[in-house]
Structure 1
């Protein structure tokens, strides 16, 4: 007797009673695409509006026309939700002659590929409406293979109602049931409701035939509602001595009252608990009120949490937003509830970010330390989505860790320029003495609209001192000079300061003093000749007795290097650059008629005006060097990683110096080493840096002593900002990945000096959110000097880790699930709290 459920053209009396829409809690198990989808546990419209369900729609002839997975009227993605829906949010059915054609759509009801590159499944029907073959087609309408290597199914109907199935690839060669399941020619038997009862591997005569492990048959048992409750692995004679490809003889499933799979366990041939080849004896699933999966855990025979040895985790936890529609996080934990990385995929968690329209903006992977990490098998760290206008359909772009980091760094650079109003900026990061990233934004010449290029040269301003310190380290390595040498030992300068004291600004030489009249417009051929400018700035106090920052002290250092080497300072700098392949390093003399040199600007009232001409030949070692950001970053990385000078000499240069009374030399937030400043970030990690500002320039160079990574930022106008926070953000080996709870909470508070500040609603686009903040009082005065604007715009990246303000890019710190603070200086602390 043929099964009536297989007839897709139903009888008229059935049609009359068939509703246009049915809703079900779950779908029935099926082992082959031969069987149509069957709903389990019918729901009323009111209940379906509150939770996930499968919606079956029918045409006027009672044929299935559409199956969708939804919460209420909203389409859902099938992944990580209660029970199994094949691949898509929607299966759309149409009929042509003796064909039933199924196409697949995503949650935006747009065409999509499933199971590999399958866009459509073409079922051929016999005159009774039964399926007799299936062919997969791709986007171009041509035959394709599924992810299981199957291009075509062929079904033969037997008189007892069973069906013989064979599968073929594109070359018409037979294919097994699926990878790891070595059944070739199978017979499928069904009950009156269309549920699979028996799956048999058969030989040419139709008799059961054993595969590996003696496995020849699967027998299935269902609950009264229609869920698969038990399957048994049988040998060719129907005995239970066999094992399937997972090494078990039987599987048991218990369900929740809604029909969701709750507990699955496994038995051996003697009916005792058994571990399967996937590494667990029992698994447990839990769901929220919407039917979303929130926990998948593994257990041992005693029911205690146990690690899955194949994946390295005991629990998979999934977090959802309050609407039940948007996934927040998917994360892995060990048996004690501690974060762990997936053993083969490499990440601890997958996180999701949305814009204010609830469109998915970002999916990214983090390790258990909350750092961005690549998928170990697929090589991506982040997928970001871009939308055109109000479209609900985004274009995904997968990025590797390096690509994600480059995109984040470029965004930081562009935002800095946008907030500060600087005409042009260049930055670079180097590792192990080689450039790994560079970024440029804006113009080197506003009038001619010439963009900043990778080889554009900028004034280093006081960062020149760090470069001069590297020249000193080279001279020390060569034995040409010693830190204990006094200036008077090498120069016609009656001043007892040592080279070390001069490098640490304790050499008793004044900085720029408006009360001292000197000719700063005169050009000098070498630094020694420029000592005429230095002499009026010598102080009578004993060297080493106090810290006093001094550019002129570095002029003395430059002259000592000239005397020790017998070469002009400009030649020493050029020689070092030539040896290192860093051609942009030069003194101020190279500014004349230099096509690669940026124009210089000053900011005034929101406009960028040409900066006044400056002649730095009187102070090249302390303020007059020019370079590209890339060459500067590479030079400093080679110094920091001991590729330019010996490790011993590098370490000596980085020692914090002391005054003659034993007190460490410091200046506000940092300690003073030899040509370098030592400081700690918000996490307490030390870094070394130097900054500079002068007419037409703002500069910073910074490096991590732990690994020698360096970053340089150069601009063509002076501006006020926390450039060190920005430099640390650029230097990060990977973008920070703070929790998205803050952005997705829907409401925020912002405070400064314990006073609440009014925030606008967030404008969330792509992968960041912006707020406008009306500021007043101290904060307005302070920020006003930086931006000249009464209204502050804050931007918080979805990757967390920093906020962007007119004052600069400021790292975030604090509890990622609670209060998050950004501290840019002693006067500036903004606190976000969801």
Structure 2
């Protein structure tokens, strides 16, 4: 098929998903001339409007997806192939080479039922062997109910039930979707369809999205459908706000009474700014009163990220106090990371610095520098971790 017969659509971000049952779809369409000046996704369809590939770029530069990705856009490019009873997704890096995601998964393999619905999913490595992904999942299975809901089950290789993902203790799921086909409710149920509260007291997640698939808010509920602090963040309600490109610019957490609260990850409220390409340039944290605060675990207020002039390479990452003064990350022990690249734009060194710009050993692992070497094909062949005295760790 000629390129002229292909149809290409451009989007700034992707719709929110919670399950690989959902298709990867673009959110916030862009005109081509706008897309080619910033980060964007390209969806390529054949003449029958069947999806061939999805890829992430900054202008014309292939990139690994950033904050705009969803749970299953895991590499620069995904290519799709189909038969009457199967669908395959193949993952490629920014150099066009096959890459592994979620552990050693090089492809996702779906079976399709007689109605064209996704019925099951398993994972293959580069040699096409079935494997377990890094979430401990060997396969997914879906059954479609008369009320329009879908039952999702996940098993390990021994056939035992597996959580939706690490830190999210929902097992057998009843999924409900809204009129746009976007996830609206997830319920943790037993074999009889009865709600089961997990160890955090949660049995239901209610999800609100807009017409563009942006994840506006969520509620965590117990068996009685009362608000319950639970699941990974250990909050009862979260609200997110987006800019015109569909980027999350603000996140706030609440308890059962609607009061602002810190999540288990140390965040009450975050506000994020972006550069002209759509890269994160700043993120600040705020306290329960809405004043400048800190990330409770890391003990910094402001994260700053500096990018190259073309927006493709991270130059530095730094932490600051509520007074915008340099500070050391509380659990890692450095103020700044600096990135050095080769003439081929390959990352060759990461250096960890204190607030005086001097090399410092991280307090979590003792590393002060990481150096990378590549083969002629651009693949990393050695990674060296060094302390501030240059001794390999």
Superposition pairs of residues 650-665 of structure 1, within 5 angstroms = none
Residue 181 of structure 1 contacts residue 245 of structure 1 at CA under 8 Å; is this kept in 2?
Answer: yes
- Distance, in Å, in 2 between the alignment partners of 1:265 and 1:84 is 20
- Report which of the two has the higher share of strand: 2
Worse-matched range after superposition: 29-38 or 108-117: 108-117
Provide Cα deviations, 1:145-165, integer angstroms capped at 9, x if missing partner. 222211211111112222111
Which one of the candidate residues 207, 210, 216 is aligned to 1:223? 210
Which one of the candidate residues 262, 267, 275 is aligned to 1:280? 267
Superposition pairs of residues 17-416 of structure 1, within 5 angstroms = 20-79=7-66, 81-82=67-68, 84=70, 86-241=73-228, 243-369=230-356, 370-374=358-362, 376-377=364-365, 381-388=369-376, 393-401=378-386, 405=390
Change (3 A) 1:218 1:374: same
Provide Cα deviations, 1:774-832, integer angstroms capped at 9, x if missing partner. xxxxxxxxxxxxxxxxxxxxxxxxxxxxxxxxxxxxxxxxxxxxxxxxxxxxxxxxxxx
Provide Cα deviations, 1:696-732, integer angstroms capped at 9, x if missing partner. xxxxxxxxxxxxxxxxxxxxxxxxxxxxxxxxxxxxx
**1:363 offset after TM fit, Å?**
3.0
Change (3 A) 1:66 1:380: farther
Change (3 A) 1:63 1:375: farther
SS where residue 400 of structure 1 aligns?
strand
The RMSD of aligned alpha carbons is 2.5
Residue 332 of structure 1 contacts residue 349 of structure 1 at CA under 8 Å; is this kept in 2?
Answer: yes
Residue 118 of structure 1 contacts residue 137 of structure 1 at CA under 8 Å; is this kept in 2?
Answer: yes
- Report which of the two has the higher share of helix: 1
Change (3 A) 1:129 1:342: farther
Provide Cα deviations, 1:519-565, integer angstroms capped at 9, x if missing partner. xxxxxxxxxxxxxxxxxxxxxxxxxxxxxxxxxxxxxxxxxxxxxxx
* Greater Cα radius of gyration, structure 1 or 2: 1
User: Which ranges of structure 1 fall in alignment gaps of 5 or more residues?
Assistant: 1-17, 408-733, 735-834
Residue 300 of structure 2 contacts residue 322 of structure 2 at CA under 8 Å; is this kept in 1?
Answer: yes
- Distance, in Å, in 2 between the alignment partners of 1:190 and 1:19 is 31
User: Which ranges of structure 2 fall in alignment gaps of 5 or more residues?
Assistant: none
Q: Alignment length, in residue pairs?
A: 387
- Distance, in Å, in 2 between the alignment partners of 1:356 and 1:211 is 52
SS where residue 239 of structure 1 aligns?
coil
SS where residue 272 of structure 1 aligns?
coil
Residue 365 of structure 1 contacts residue 375 of structure 1 at CA under 8 Å; is this kept in 2?
Answer: no
- Distance, in Å, in 2 between the alignment partners of 1:236 and 1:95 is 40
- Distance, in Å, in 2 between the alignment partners of 1:19 and 1:270 is 52
- Distance, in Å, in 2 between the alignment partners of 1:137 and 1:312 is 41
Residue 222 of structure 1 contacts residue 229 of structure 1 at CA under 8 Å; is this kept in 2?
Answer: yes
Provide Cα deviations, 1:248-279, integer angstroms capped at 9, x if missing partner. 11100011122110000011111121211111
- Distance, in Å, in 2 between the alignment partners of 1:322 and 1:64 is 33
**1:376 offset after TM fit, Å?**
2.6
SS where residue 54 of structure 2 aligns?
strand
Superposition pairs of residues 422-571 of structure 1, within 5 angstroms = none
Residue 78 of structure 1 contacts residue 87 of structure 1 at CA under 8 Å; is this kept in 2?
Answer: yes
SS where residue 98 of structure 2 aligns?
coil
SS where residue 89 of structure 2 aligns?
strand
- Distance, in Å, in 1 between the alignment partners of 2:37 and 2:239 is 29
Provide Cα deviations, 1:678-710, integer angstroms capped at 9, x if missing partner. xxxxxxxxxxxxxxxxxxxxxxxxxxxxxxxxx
Residue 38 of structure 2 contacts residue 278 of structure 2 at CA under 8 Å; is this kept in 1?
Answer: yes
- Distance, in Å, in 2 between the alignment partners of 1:266 and 1:371 is 36
Change (3 A) 1:404 1:131: farther
SS where residue 142 of structure 2 aligns?
strand
Which of 1 and 2 has higher RCO (CA within 8 Å, sep 6+)? Answer: 1
Superposition pairs of residues 633-672 of structure 1, within 5 angstroms = none
Residue 227 of structure 1 contacts residue 259 of structure 1 at CA under 8 Å; is this kept in 2?
Answer: yes
SS where residue 212 of structure 1 aligns?
coil
Residue 26 of structure 1 contacts residue 82 of structure 1 at CA under 8 Å; is this kept in 2?
Answer: yes
Change (3 A) 1:192 1:201: same
SS where residue 46 of structure 1 aligns?
helix
Superposition pairs of residues 821-832 of structure 1, within 5 angstroms = none
Q: What's the TM-score once normalised by structure 1's chain length?
A: 0.44
